[in-house]
Amino acid sequence: MSRRNSPVPDWIPRDLTAAPGVYQFHDAVGTPIYVGKSVNLRRRVRGYFYGGGPKDERMALMVRLARGIEVHPAGTDLEARLEEADRIERFRPAFNKALKNRSKGWFIEVDWGAPFPRLRVISRPRRPRARHFGPYRGRRQPAEVVVLLEKILRLRSCAGAIRPDVEASPCLQHGIDQCTAPCVGLVGLDVYRAQVREAVRLLEDPAYLPVVYERFVRRRDHAAAAGGTDEAISWQRRLGWLEELDSYRYVLEKPWVDRSWLIVLPGPAETERVLVPVARGRVLERRALSWNGSGWSKVVEDAVYEVRLRELQAESVFQPADLTPSLIVTSWLEAGAEGGMAFDLERTDADLVLEHLVKEAERLRKESEGLPHDAEPERDPLAAEESAPVQFVA
């Protein structure tokens, strides 16, 4: 019986690993044309050539043009996602569009360069004099926050520049007491910009909200006591919007995005680890270490030092290249840091990180030698003096 020919071309290695990781297709001249990730590299890569190939026309063309492949095993899905994003950003493969929407972050912008600034939700900061808050992973929530702030503080929501005209009539927003109408000069430049500063403070400091709430309560009660029923009702409505704004506290506080971390992930091999330093949300170059090596503690110290250095240099606004890996790590942290360890470098330092990792390395060493965790290892004291401060051999 003749053996059936495989549809997998000869340039696909026969010994492809079944580990998770990233794969990268090249064309005939070695140019990367597509980058992807999978929990099983062998099955995923070979799967492109079975069943008549991809049904999607774009991917079918990619497969026809491909003439080479690189694979990069990873110990975790987070590492694979970061590697995939890094390669797409670096090579801009022609057939990749998967990260196009995922990499879009949203910002709340206050353009102080405008005389009467308004709050806007944008996808790319461009105005150098503007103040930006974010990034946020979606547009809906920051847009809802902006609407609430406009109603609470009676800010303008209209687009375009304002040139106050006292002969004009204010719009409906003023009629329903949701704008102070700077367009017709009912408030001046200084008063209106003070209103915007209140909005900025609420955005940058959610703890300021109770202060505003108490002030509004006093004004409502004063209006009611003076017989100003309509004014009291207006303040009560604004109190309700403040309470609604408080429900977005988790959006405003951004518990992960702007913080610094040292993330420790399992590597492709049992004794390997991958360090992911994060400086104020910016994901830095990953570092590999092995418990078998004598200098792994230095790798950890250098990673923490790099975070501290980059914290001093971090810009107030994320650059486009920083945004995708930041959102990937943020999503992983918010999901519970599954499969790894995350050290909050705003609450700890390199010494405490090393102390924890020493215990982890010792535990793994004992497991590999079949020792109980409370057993003391036998060590050569002379060798210990000559070696690095911490050295574990599996």
At residue 81, the pLDDT reads: 93
Range with the poorest average pLDDT among 117-131, 201-215, 273-287, 369-383 = 369-383
At residue 21, the pLDDT reads: 94
- At 368, is the pLDDT very low, low, confident or very high (cuts 50, 70, 90)? low
At residue 293, the pLDDT reads: 72
Percent of the chain with pLDDT over 70: 88
Residue 389 has pLDDT above 90, yes or no: no
Selected residue with higher pLDDT from 149 and 106: 149
Selected residue with higher pLDDT from 52 and 90: 90
Nearest to 263 by CA among 338, 367, 364: 338
Tens of pLDDT, residues 199-230 = 999 998 888 999 999 999 999 999 999 999 99
- Residue 125: Cβ-neighbour burial (10 angstroms; 0-12, 13-18, 19+): buried
Other Cβ atoms closer than 10 A to 349: 11
At residue 46, the pLDDT reads: 94
Residue 108 · residue 149 · CB < 8 Å: no
Nearest to 392 by CA among 261, 312, 295: 295
Selected residue with higher pLDDT from 256 and 345: 345
Residue 377 has pLDDT above 60, yes or no: no
At residue 313, the pLDDT reads: 84
Entry pTM: 0.67
Selected residue with higher pLDDT from 257 and 50: 50
- Residue 346: Cβ-neighbour burial (10 angstroms; 0-12, 13-18, 19+): exposed
At residue 386, the pLDDT reads: 33
As a whole number, the mean pLDDT across the chain is 85
- At 111, is the pLDDT very low, low, confident or very high (cuts 50, 70, 90)? very high
Other Cβ atoms closer than 10 A to 314: 15
Residue 303 has pLDDT above 60, yes or no: yes
Nearest to 74 by CA among 92, 91, 86, 62: 86
For the domain 21-100, what is the CATH superfamily, name and number?
GIY-YIG endonuclease (3.40.1440.10)
Tens of pLDDT, residues 260-271 = 999 999 988 888
- At 371, is the pLDDT very low, low, confident or very high (cuts 50, 70, 90)? low
Q: Where along the chain do its domains lie?
A: 21-100, 106-253, 261-376
Tens of pLDDT, residues 68-89 = 999 999 999 999 999 999 999 8
Q: Kindly write down the DSSP assignment for every residue of 156-194, as one continuous string.
A: ----S-----TTS---HHHHTTS---GGGTSS-HHHHHH
Residue 327 · residue 105 · CB < 8 Å: yes
- At 1, is the pLDDT very low, low, confident or very high (cuts 50, 70, 90)? very low
Paired strand residues for 119: 110
